[in-house]
Amino acid sequence: MESNFKKIEIVGINISQLRQIIRDENDRIINETNAIKKAESLPEYLTQKQVAQFWQVNVKTILNWEKNGILKRHILADSTSFRYHKKDVLSIRK
């Protein structure tokens, strides 16, 4: 009887190392999935505090991102407050 599984031969790696690689990749996929879910729940425009919480950084980091052109603030219609657009926030690569 023929098996449905292909035999994979990995040279230079032991079973413990292979298990760790699989665990690491599984963790990466779970983290990525959680980040996508978290991003989907964001409002269209975010405050400095919301951006800082999303990226788990200090508000000063958000100000530095602005200063360095990484993040652009949008003035609201009342012209006394500002927000950051969700697409801009999600495009940041820490």
pLDDT in tens, 26-64: 988 888 888 788 888 899 999 999 999 999 999 999 999
Give pTM, 2 decimals.
Answer: 0.64
Give bridge partners of residue 83 from the DSSP assignment: 74
- Residue pair 68/93 in contact (Cβ under 8 Å)? The answer is no
Quote the distance between the C-alpha of residue 22 and its chain's center.
21
CB contact set of 89 (below 8 Å; sequence gap of 6+): 42, 46, 51, 54, 55, 71
75 pLDDT above the threshold of 80: yes
